Each structure stands twice: as C-alpha cells, then as structure tokens.
Structure 1
Amino acid sequence: MKQKLLTLIFLLFLLVGLAAIGRLAWMKLYPDTTSQPVATTSAPKAKATKPNHPYLQLVPANTLFFVGGLERANLETVLQSNSILGTYSAPKGENAPLIQFFQALASQFVNERLAGPANVLKEFGIRKDNALTFYTVGIAPVLRFEVDNEDKFWHQIETAAESAKLNFKYTSILGTAYRQFALNPEQPDLTMIVGIQDGNAIVTLLSDKFDMDTKSKLLGKLPIANNILESGTLTQTTDKYRFEPAHFGYIDFTHIADVLLKQDNGLAAQMIEQLEPPKSNNQPDSSQASQDTVQNELEAFQTPACQKEISSMIAQMPRVVGGTLLGSNPQESTVKVVLEIKNNQVLQHLSSIRGFIPKFVTDTADQALVNFGLGINMESFAPAISALWTSYTESPYQCQPLEENRQSVQQQSPAMLSMMLAQASSIRGLSLSVQDIALQFNPISPIPKVETADALVVLSTTQPKALYDMAAAMNPMLGSIVLDPSGKPSPVPFGAMLGIELNAAIKGNNIVLFTGENSAKIVAGLATENITDNGFMAESINYSKINTLLSTAAAPDSPIWRQKPLSPADCILRDDVIHQLHQLNGHEVIEADFTKQGFVSTDKVFSTKATEPSPHKIEAQYDTYLLDNGCVEILEGVEQFTTANANTGVYRAMAKSGECDSYETTYKWTRSGQVLEFNYLEERSRPQEDCGVEFDEWQKLKSQKSARCHIRNESVDGFECIFFDPEGNYKIIYKKKASTEDKEAA
C-alpha cells in the first residue's frame, strides 16, 4: 500500500480509537441532563424518536464508525456535568506541528471552560444545542458540528495554529472557504481542512487526488444515496439497547473488513484507487519496497476465499456499540458498551466461565475505597477454552493465511492447561475490598507505611477446606495457620510484619483473609451467601475516599515532594492536581458480563454536585509573589484592584535590587466566575531598573495586550491566580496588604 494511503488509513483508525474511547469517556463524565429519570419502578422504555438532526442524510450507511445521535445534544448541560475545573498547558516538545495544534486547542478549550460551560461555548463560537457528529465518508473521517459565531471560532483555530507553528492556507472548494493544513510536508496533497458554511462546521481529510464527485460527497455538496438515516441503523440501535437518542455510537467491523478485503466497490474503493500513485518502472527505494511488502501482505487476504471466510468470522462479532442509557441524570448515569456476539455456540462457551461475585463488591460501593470481583468457574474454564480451540482448528480453511494460522494454533493443544487447572476446579471467583486505609508517609522513603487498614480478600470455592489443605501442604507459611471449619477466625502471623491485625477464616464457601471492623461484618455475611454463577467481573471506586487519600499524599507538606526541589512549573502542576482531587465526588460501579447481546460492560456513575467556591471581593491592594524552585514564594511587586472608572487597576513590579518599583502598568479588569481578565492600557518603566532615575512618561500600548488567570484558594486574605500563557502557565499569589484601618485596629 502506498505511503499516502497508509497515512490516511493510519489517521482513520487513530481517530476511530479516539472516538470510541473519548466519546465513551465523554458520555460517562458528561451525561446529558435534558432527559429526566422515568417516574416508575420499571426499566425505562425506549421512546419513539423523530430525528432532529441536520447531518444524518450526509452520513453513509456503511460508515466505518458513528458517534453522535438522532437528536441535538445540549452541550452546555453536558459541560456543566463536569465538576473538575483543572487547567491545562499544552506540553512543549518535539511533537509534529499537527499534534501540537490539537494540544494547543485542548489547552484553550479547557482554560476557557474555567469560566463556565456557557463561556467556553461562547468563546469558541459553538452552538449550545448541537448536532455534533463524527463518522466516515469512504475512508475519510468527518467531524461536523454547529457554530453561531464564526469569528470567535476562527480566532481559536488560528491562535492554536500560531502556537503550534502550524502553517495553513486559505482555499475555496466548491464555493466554500476552508483553512487547509498540511499533515506531512512530504505529502502536500494530503491535508486536513476546516470550513464553515451557513453555521455548519466541518473538519475532514482531503487529497488533491480525489475527483470532484468524491470531494462533493465528502464535503456534503452531493447527497448520499444510501444514508444512515434511511437505513434505520440508528433507530434500531437505540431501540435495542435503550440508549439516549442524543448520546450513542458504534464501530462497524463488517464495513472495516469490507474496505481492507476490497469487497467495497463504492466510495471507499474509489478513494483508495485515487490515492494510489501511477505505476513506475524505476527501481523502488527501501521505503517503497517496505510499502510494497505491506501491500502484498494485504493482498494475501483479498482473495475470494479469504473474503468469504473472514467476512463470515467478522459477521459473528459485527460491532462495538456504546451509549448513555435512558433514564440517566446528573446524579446517576449509566454508560453501556456492547461487543455484539452473534455466534450462539461461542457465546454459550464464554458464558459457561462466569463465576461468583459476592454482593459486597457492588453493595458497599458508596462506603469502600475500592472493590473488585472476578467471577470465574474454573471447572468450566478449561472445557470452554478447549471447545473454542476445537471449533477453530477442526476444519481447514481455503484462505491461505487463515489456514497457516489454524495449523499453528492446532499445535498448541489446551490439554496441558486442563491438567494444570484440574486441581483448582472448585474455584468460582476471587474478590477483594479496601474499605478504608490510612498511610503514613516517610520523608526518607517514597513508599508509605500502612497505618491502619480495613480490607479483605475472598476466594470463593465449592470445597474451601479441601482447597486450603492442599495449598497449605505446598506452602509451609500457610501450614502454620489452622482454619476452623466452623468459621472461627484464626490470626495470621505475618500480619504483624505489615503492622496490622490480620485474620483468616472459612465462611460458607469462601476462604477469607481480612482486617478491620467493616471487613469483619462483610465476612460474617458471606457465611449465608450462596455461590451461584452470577457474573464475570465487577468493580467499584469511591472518588470521595480516593480524594481524601490522595489529597493527603499530594499535600504541599507531603514527603513525596521532598525527594528533589520542584520547579515552578511542577509546583503549579502539583497544586492543580490537589485542586482537581478536591473536586472528585461520588462513586462508580463497573460491571462486565456475557449476556444474550454479547460481552456487555455497564458503567454507573453516582455523583454529588461539587460545591462551587464562594467569590470574595478582590478590590484591594496586594503584595504579589511568584514561585521559585522548591515552591518558594518570592515577593515581586504590588497590585491594586479598584472599582473606579469601570474597574481599573495598576500593577507595580519591584526592581531586582528591591529598593524601588521599576515598572508600572494600568489595566481594566473583569471577573467571570473563577476567571480574572486583564486588558492593559498604559505602561512606563525606569531605564535599566535604576532607582536613581525617574520613570519614563506613560505610554499607551501600541497593540492590544491582555491576560487571563484562574482564581484558586480564595479567602479574605487573598487568592492565587494561574495565568494562561502559550509558553507555559504560571501562578501569582496575591496577599492582601493591611489597610490603614486594619493597621490602626491592630
């Protein structure tokens, strides 16, 4: 495959991965709150949806992936659901300019978000109720969304491009103006374009080699004959899985296989053909030879036999689908992801390995720090693997690469695995829980010491006494611990090495190791809990407790920061991490299991609204400090905020000698939420910071100059402000100077 084609396919699958992971994270963290929970005890029912969407007729039915919905999403509500207000500074490095561009754009987006969801949409010119959609036309990824202020949108794009030193050119294609960005200087004909027409923005990849018909369909200038709306795929997906109409997506492996196997004779095939350069009789270089090798390897899978057999395999697991379930709300949202499995025999074998997960794994999610449970029926595990192995290896394939792989797998018999697992056939699952833990940090060692712990480990088995006796016979340390079949706990000697009181016991069909009061109560309940094959995997995370634990570990006086002096940038990063940890709240329960639909993962997030900081009046005079190495605060000037003349202020920087002010500037200031904005008016300075020389005359700034910062740790005594700068964020600490009245009172 030629280099341009490989580049495009690589970018395509990179975007597919980002779409799948990013969108599911988006749906988890930012659930749509326009749908209220159904007022009934029964499961929410899928509602008939009349599409309210401008882009669906532009999406081919055979798109390789789809992320979006049947309805517009309220992006302001979506962003409001995120309670973490972190800053982000685009990292500086040797990344390609295009990557640096997206990093800069992300930095601008996150920092604008600090002033609130409405602000970020306003400053990016993005419409609140938005039909944002991500899909492919042929093999080219396309992102569409709605804007309501083109000037602001282009300002953000061009600012990020300037920061990344990414060149672009203005171009007009089929009557619409675009900014065109080169992906690779060595391939100038393959570009990323960004354009807006009638409030509809598009971002996609374009090649000069595409013919006019291909460009017209890619850019939405020509209708798509078989579009996704008319195919019914979207309504079928939402109805089947009960997804919110505005939040779902999928990756279609069958269409991806059609492209790679050259079974697609439509637009994807035309794009590939147009990207391939003409045949040359010249001696190819090493790079060309490598590309030809890849092409030959792909061609081995493009024979009629491979097309038929591989397509048949893919049809058994055609898609990964995911979305927010109906009934989700800001306090409780559920994201469901399904790997569709159509082969009932394979699904039956996989389902047979499901084991036992105790109730405490999910029932104590709001109390425990973390819980985890793996349900696995070891008696069925080896037979299931053997059955799957046999089904793959028993019949020869006509497709040569598949047949070679089959013969290789056939030599790896699972018989040895069956023998190894025979002694553990009574095991049905392994679970653990950390109900609570306190750590003591040592300034000498970065590894903390466990001060107190409340935790347990559970091995579920149909024959607990026999399994333990067998393990004890092979391990002298276990042999010293005698477990009473009646369930009475036995002390574990090596618990003293950890500084905790550790006990072991047999409770019902479980071997347990535990310490702590809450864990002891959970262990007592296990005695009456019947072992059933009720799941494959479950876990829970309590963000509020993790916040407390990590905030202690990351506190400014924590020994972990004493290993080496922190740079000012590291100090800001540390403080930002601490700030974000304080925003964490609620808990999350993740479950994965084999069902009739396939391999299903559900992620439930239970949230409590973060407390917004109460603003204080900042009109006062402050000493200002910058951070030095080791997070040491260095006095560097004085600043005065007033409400006079529509919020004016003055900043005076101290000379290096500390004997006088060497620079002054005046500005207008505004505050929006936790963001403070400065628009500078005039400035003056002392030549060479010489305190014996008078200031120059005030000079109006020749060009507009502004700055923005995010307020942190606000109190009556002052505040901190993180300034957003393309060269790297920095922090100024404002400490209020005592007023005359305060001094007299003192």
Structure 2
Amino acid sequence: MKKILIAGAIVAAGAVGYWLSQETGSDNPFEQNTALTYIPSDTALFSGQLQPFPIKTYVNSLSDADKNATAELFEGLSGEDDPRAKFLFDLSQTYIASLEKGATFIQTWGLAEAIRGYFYTLGAIPVFKLDIADASVFWGQLDKAETSSGMTHSQAQLQDINYRVYALGDEENSLDMIVAINHNRLIVTFNTELNNDDILDTALELSSMPKSLADTGALEKIIEKYSFSHSSISFINHQSLITGITTTEGNRLAQQLTRYATQEGEDAFSELKQDNCRIELQGIGANWPQTVMGLKGFAVSEDSSMFDLTTVVESNNTVILKALSDMRGFIPHYVSHLDGAVAAMGLGLDVSKISGSLTDIWDNLLMPEYQCEPLAQFQQQLAQSDPAMVGMMTGMAQGVMGASAALLDYKLTEGNDGAELKSVDAIASISSDEPALLFNMMKMFAPALAEVSLPIDGTATDVTHVLALPGEWPIALKMAIKGKHLVIFNGDKGQVAAEHLSHEMVVKNDLAMLSFDSSKMLEPLQAYAEMAGTNDVLDLSQMKPQNMEVKLALDVDNKGIVLHSYVKSFKNNQN
C-alpha cells in the first residue's frame, strides 16, 4: 500500500510540475473556460493549464534520457503481488511505451494534439482534470490494466454521469479513486470518509460553486501583477490553509478536518483553534497570503523545450522585504550565463548590510508578543540567537558583495589507479569595493599567502604552490585583481572569464544562483568510460547524458521572495 501511495504522489507532483511548464494558445484563456466555474474560490491549491498545450509536439521533443527517467519512477511497483500495485504498474508501462512519439501518445490515451489540464483541491480532496478527445480509448486502457492486474472496479452513477470506483483503501481506512468523464474532461478524484455530500457533485461538474475561482478574477490579477504568461498559473493559498486548521467550519478544509477529529476522538489542531492562535496565525497569513507560480516564457518544438518559471512567496511585511533587499549582492555573468561552461554557483550578499538586516528581521519577528503557545515557543528559541554575533564575524569582510565559482570545462584520462584529471578550467571570485584590501586581510588567515603580491593592474600571479597540490595534477592556479574582483583561476577558459570580470561593475543583482549543463557534466565521464572500457559501480559506459541547461536564482523584491527557474532541454545532444 505504501508503494501505491508513493506512486500516486509521484504522479500528482509530476502533473503539477508539468502544467507549470506549458504555454500556447489564445490571448484570453478565461473566455468560455467552464472548468474554472467548478473550482471553489478558496481552494488551497491550484495548478491550471489554461491554454491548450501541444502535447504531441512536446512528446516528440523528449530525449531518451527524459523517457528513461520517467520509467525509473515506477520501478518500485514492479514485482508487487497487490492487484492495486499491479494496476498502477501496468498503466505506467503503457504510459512509458506511449512516449515513443507524439502521435503514439495521443492515440494511446485518446487525447487531442493540444490539451488543457487542472489540479486543485476541494478541502483536502485532490481533483485532477484533463481534456479528453476519445473517451472509449481511455476506458479501453483502464480495462486492459484491470485484465492484466486482476484489479476490478465498481460502476456507479450520479445524476446522468456514470463513473468508475476503484477501492484503494483497506479495512480500517476507506479510500476510493473515482474516475469519470464529463464535459469532455477526464476527472480523477477520491471518495473518503471526510467527504461532504456535495464533494462528488462538484468534482464531477454536476453542480457549480456558489463562488468559484472564475468569479474572483484571482488568476487574472496574478497574471497582471507579475506579468506572467496567460498559459498556466498555479498558487498555494496560505490563508485558506490557516483557516482550515484554525477553525471548525471556516471553509471546506476546516469542515473535513473537524469531521476527521470527531471520528478519531482527538483534534490535532485543537490548540491552534483557540482564539489567540487563530487571530495571530491569521495575522501571519495576511502578511504572507500566498505563493504564486507562473511562466515568463515558454517554447516547444520537435527538438527542444524551454520554460522560464517564476515562483513568488508573496509578502506584505515591508520590514523583512527591505532587510532582505538590502542584503542583495552581486553575481557575475559567468554564473548567470554558462556560455558552454559545466556548472556555476554564486552567493550575492552585501556583507556590510548583513548584520543590520538580520537585526531588523529578528526584531520584527520578536516584536509581536505572541500569546499562542507554539508561536511563543518559536519566539523564545529565536530570542536565544544573537544576530550581533554575525556582525562580529562579517566585520572584517566589509565591502564584499558576493562570492562565486564555476567549473568551465574538464577532461579525464586513464591512469594507473583509474580515472585521472587530464585538464580543468575553473574560476572563483570574490567581488568587493576594495579587493586589494580584502586580499591583504586574507593573508592574516592564510600565512602561505604572505609572500604573494598581487599587482593592481590586473596581472596574474601563480599561486599553485600555496595549495601544495600534487605535481601530476594539470593545475596552475593563478590569482589576480580584476577590477572590483579578487579572482583565482586555472586554464585558458578560466583566464578568459577572469578578463571579462575586469569590465563587470559590481551592482546589486541577486541573492543566490545555481546553473549547470547536465550533458557537460556527464560527457567527460562517459568519454572516459568508453575509452577505458570500464563498467564500474556507476556503470558509466551506459550513461547517456541528458542535454539540459538549468538556472535557478533566489531573489527578493517589493512583492515577496522570488525564485526564478529556467530549464531548456534538447532531444539530441546539441554540444
């Protein structure tokens, strides 16, 4: 049963992530979108593909590595005797086989070439919906999986809609998966002991909501506020979640949790439902109302796909946002633009602002004297920390605006004891208002640097001896002051990156960033495996690099804490 639930979680998470990455269609996705009228305005979780997505083309763009990764998700279900696990495993194998090409995928599942999809909650009950073009084809796949696994369903009817019921629970816990098709949409949801009488009516689109998501205009407001694409929007409603755990009847989630507490004879959230906790937690919810996700850009073709996703943890707490904004530092171009490099990371922090900003954050969190016991305990633990200590530790690094590093290239060769480094190009840098002064201060902590002198004209100095690296390593480390940056590098590509830094102005542009090229990371390993004919623990000879470029960036603005995610994947190796 545990593996069944894990597989279900994987499918749900994958579905949510998938819809976050889509974009195409008309300019106004809200016109005649009847699906939104069946989604409650206070849903705690929503992810919607609002414009038809070219699923056929997208499947064609998937690499073998993408398909293999999908197959690995369901390996844990193989060999299970439980008919429920066998049923899910059979469906997963059909799904994996259908990924061979786009035409096969849509024909296998009865889909159109472009589809919309939705995932949301009715209280705690998840609902999944997807456009379907040929219902008989989809039902046929479920029939095949039942025959293969021994799983059976019961047939039920609500008004004029027939639906299937798959019993996934046990003697102690009732859990039925409901599968139906209405309004040309596949609907998957669950019946549990928590459900109200109207849950299934609403999920199956037999009755609309008194106040729906379509009525609120919430999605349009998110798009306008963040300049997101109209294609897909997702959000987590913190205030709905807080209402659910701090009240008994405040929303559908609260009603379900109350029913569960009555059945169990114990309410895990009873303390949070006291007046002081409810008021104080709702105040926190007002300051941090929701997390929203949307696309800034998307492109899909037969050979590649790209999505640029932005996630914002919304905040109305101007004190914390200002403190975090003050701490923003500098991250160089070689981190934000790989330009053929393997991987890079950067931490952008204005060291001179860290102590003051942390003090402001600490004071803000301690300022309301919470009466709610869990919140009061949190404050007591926080009060034991002293942000002033951070100021003492960072005092000697005043003027530093960030530190970054990148692996630009590397190659392996076969040595006496296995793989050896044939060549490496890399760079690390610290950006500072006074890099020469910073270097002189570093000598206090690294005596080996005492004899090293760095000309202010940018001339590089060999410092390989300082690290006492093995002589057979192909490393000749050089150190230099390049503009406002203290740099250490190796190799020709490292030198080029260092020279570029000479012209980069130190400005506040981010908090943290990570970027990498997955194929660049694995290609040298694969090349070595093929050359050496090895088949070791990592099975390198079987590795097929997935050609994917990824960039993750953490930042803050006046709307909240921001995470930018950029992913571009190629069907074939482009390097």
- Bin of the TM-score, shorter chain as denominator length: 0.7 to 0.9
Q: CA deviation at 1:437?
A: 0.8
SS at match of 2:198: helix
SS of aligned partner of 1:220 = coil
TM-superposed deviation, 1:401: 2.0
Pick the aligned partner of 1:250 from 228, 232, 235: 235
Residue 547 of structure 2 aligns to which amino acid in structure 1? L
Which among 104, 113, 125 is matched to residue 119 of structure 1? 104
SS at 2:327's partner residue?
coil
What's 2:320 paired with? 346
- Is there any run of 5+ residues in structure 1 with no aligned partner, and where? 1-6, 36-46, 279-287, 613-746
Query: Is the CA contact 2:119–2:126 (under 8 Å) kept in the aligned structure 1?
Result: yes
Q: Distance in 2 between matches of 1:96 and 1:350?
A: 51
Q: CA deviation at 1:312?
A: 1.2
**Shift in CA distance, 332/503, structure 1 to aligned 2, threshold 3 Å:** same
Partner of 2:38: 58
Using the alignment, how far apart are the partners of 2:279 and 2:526 within structure 1? 56
1:109 is aligned with what amino acid? Y
Q: In the TM superposition, what is the alpha-carbon distance from 1:240 to its structure 2 partner? A: 2.1
The answer on whether the counterparts of 2:244 and 2:251 sit within 8 Å (CA) in structure 1 is: no
Paired position in structure 2 for 1:676: none
| Structure 2 CA distance for aligned equivalents of residues 21 and 351 of structure 1 | 33
Query: For the structure 1 residues 459 and 611, does the alpha-carbon distance in structure 2 shift closer, same or farther, using more than 3 Å as the test?
Result: closer
* Aligned match for 1:488, one of 454, 459, 462: 459
Is the 1:32–1:78 contact (alpha carbons within 8 Å) kept by the matching residues of 2?
no
How many angstroms apart in 2 are the aligned matches of 1:350 and 1:209?
Answer: 41
Contact 1:76–1:117 (CA under 8 A) maintained in structure 2: yes
Alignment partner, residue 287 of structure 2: 316
CA distance in 2, matches of 1:471, 1:240: 45
Alignment of 1:230-269 (within 5 A): 230-262=215-247, 264-269=249-254
Name 2:67's counterpart in structure 1: 86
**Counterpart residue identity of residue 63, structure 1:** T
Which residue of structure 2 lines up, in the alignment, with residue 74 of structure 1? Answer: 54
2:92 to 99, 103, 106: 106
Q: Which moved more, 1:491-500 or 1:298-307?
A: 491-500
Which structure has the bigger radius of gyration? 1
Q: Which SS does the other structure have where 1:243 is aligned?
A: coil
- Preserved CA contact (<8 Å) 1:254 1:318: yes
Q: How big is the shift at 1:174?
A: 4.1
Please list, as runs of the form range in 1=range in 2, the aligned pairs for 1:357-376 lying within 5 A after superposition: 357-363=331-337, 365-376=338-349
* Distance 1:327-1:366 versus aligned 2 partners, 3 A rule: same
C-alpha change, 1:169 and 1:456, in structure 2 (3 Å) is: same
Distance 1:486 1:311 in 2: 58
TM-score calculated relative to the size of structure 1: 0.68
Please give the residue correspondences for 1:582-593 in structure 2 after superposition, counting only pairs within 5 Å.
584=547, 587-593=549-555
**Residue-by-residue CA offset, 1:448-493 (whole Å, 9 max, x unaligned):** 3211011111111223233323332222333354433433212121
TM-fit CA distance, 1:104? 4.3
Q: How does 1:48-197 map to 2 (within 5 A)?
A: 48-84=28-64, 86-87=67-68, 88=71, 90-91=74-75, 92=78, 101-114=87-100, 116-160=101-145, 166=151, 168-197=153-182
**How far 1:337 sits from its partner (Å)?**
1.7
Which of 418, 426, 449 aligns to 2:420? It is: 449
Which of 517, 530, 534 is equivalent to 2:492? 517
Note if 1:406 corresponds to 2:379.
yes
Aligned residue identity for 1:86: K
- Aligned to 1:216, the other structure's residue is in SS state helix
How far the C-alpha of 1:342 sits from its partner, in A, is 1.9
Paired with 2:194 and 2:511, the residues of 1 have a C-alpha distance of 50
Taking a change above 3 Å as real, the CA distance of residues 274 and 55 of structure 1, as seen in their structure-2 partners, is same
In the alignment, the residues of structure 2 paired with residue 155 and residue 232 of structure 1 have an alpha-carbon distance, to the nearest angstrom, of: 38
For residue 400 of structure 1, report the CA deviation from its aligned partner: 2.4
Report the CA distance between 1:34 and its aligned residue. 5.0
Contact 1:105 1:157 in 2 (8 A): yes
Q: Deviations over 1:516-568 (max 9, x none)?
A: 11221221232332222222123332345345334325549542x1459x8xx
Q: Are the equivalent residues in 2 in contact too, given 1:433–1:457 (CA < 8 A)? A: yes
The one of the two structures with greater contact order (alpha-carbon pairs below 8 A, sep at least 6) is 2
Amino acid at match of 2:483: G
Q: 1-side partners of 2:329 and 2:205: how far apart?
A: 50
**Any idea what the Cα deviations from partners look like across 1:616-673, whole Å, max 9, x if unmatched?**
xxxxxxxxxxxxxxxxxxxxxxxxxxxxxxxxxxxxxxxxxxxxxxxxxxxxxxxxxx
Partners of 2:244 and 2:257 within 8 A in 1:
no
Which residue is equivalent to 1:386?
A: 359
Task: Work out the number of aligned pairs and report it.
Answer: 557
Per the alignment, in what secondary structure is the counterpart of residue 230 of structure 2? strand
Letter of the structure 2 residue corresponding to residue 107 of structure 1? Q
1:471 corresponds to which residue?
442
Check 1:540–1:256 CA distance in 2 against 1; reply closer, same or farther (3 A cut).
Answer: same
1:180–1:191: 8 Å Cα contact kept in structure 2? yes
Amino acid at match of 1:23: V
CA change 1:495–1:481 in 2 (3 A) is: farther
Say which of 546, 549, 561 aligns to 1:599: 561
For residue 328 of structure 1, report the CA deviation from its aligned partner. Answer: 4.6
Partner residue in 2 for 1:429: 402
Does 1:23 pair with 2:16? yes
**What is the CA deviation profile of residues 58-87 of structure 1, one whole-angstrom value per residue up to 9, with x for unaligned ones?**
100111111114333332234344344634
Residue 330 of structure 2 aligns to which amino acid in structure 1?
F
CA distance in 2, matches of 1:320, 1:20: 16
Aligned to 1:534: 509
After TM superposition, give the deviation of residue 183 of structure 1 in Å: 3.2
Determine the C-alpha separation between the residues in 1 that align with 2:293 and 2:416: 46
Amino acid at match of 1:72: P
Which segments of 5 or more consecutive residues in structure 2 lack a partner in the other structure? none
Equivalent residue, structure 1, for 2:23: 32
Equivalent residue, structure 2, for 1:648: none
Contact 1:214–1:271 (CA<8 Å) still a contact in 2? Answer: no
Compared CA separation, residues 63 and 169, structure 1 to 2 (3 A) = same
Which one of 480, 483, 490 corresponds to residue 505 of structure 1? 480
Distance in 2 (CA, whole Å) between partners of 1:20 and 1:243 is 22
Letter in 2 for 1:130: I
In the superposition, the TM-score normalised over structure 2's length comes to: 0.86
> Structure 1 405/343 Cα, relative in aligned 2: closer, same or farther at 3 Å?
same
Return the alpha-carbon distance in structure 1 between the equivalents of residues 150 and 172 of structure 2: 18
What is the CA distance between 1:429 and its match in structure 2? 0.8
Percent identity of paired positions between Structure 1 and Structure 2: 24
Correspondences of 1:617-632 after superposition (within 5 Å): none
Q: 1:22 to 1:436 in 2, by over 3 A?
A: farther
Specify which of 382, 387, 390 is matched with residue 417 of structure 1. Answer: 390
Contact 1:52–1:71 (Cα < 8 Å) also in 2: no
Q: Which has the higher helix share?
A: 2
Q: Distance in 2 between matches of 1:96 and 1:479?
A: 69
Secondary structure in structure 2 of the residue aligned to 1:258: helix
1:584 partner letter: N
Contact 1:495/1:501 (8 A) holds in 2 = no
Hey, what's the Cα distance between the residues in 2 that align with 1:123 and 1:518?
Answer: 49
Query: 1:633: which partner in 2?
Result: none
2:82 and 2:237 map into 1 onto residues whose CA distance is 30
8 A Cα contact 1:441 1:558, kept in partner: no
Q: CA, structure 1 residues 432+144, in 2 after alignment: closer, same or farther (shift >3 Å)?
A: same
Partner letter of residue 70 of structure 1?
L
Spell out, residue by residue over 1:705-736, the C-alpha distance to the aligned partner (whole angstroms, 9 max, x if none).
Answer: xxxxxxxxxxxxxxxxxxxxxxxxxxxxxxxx
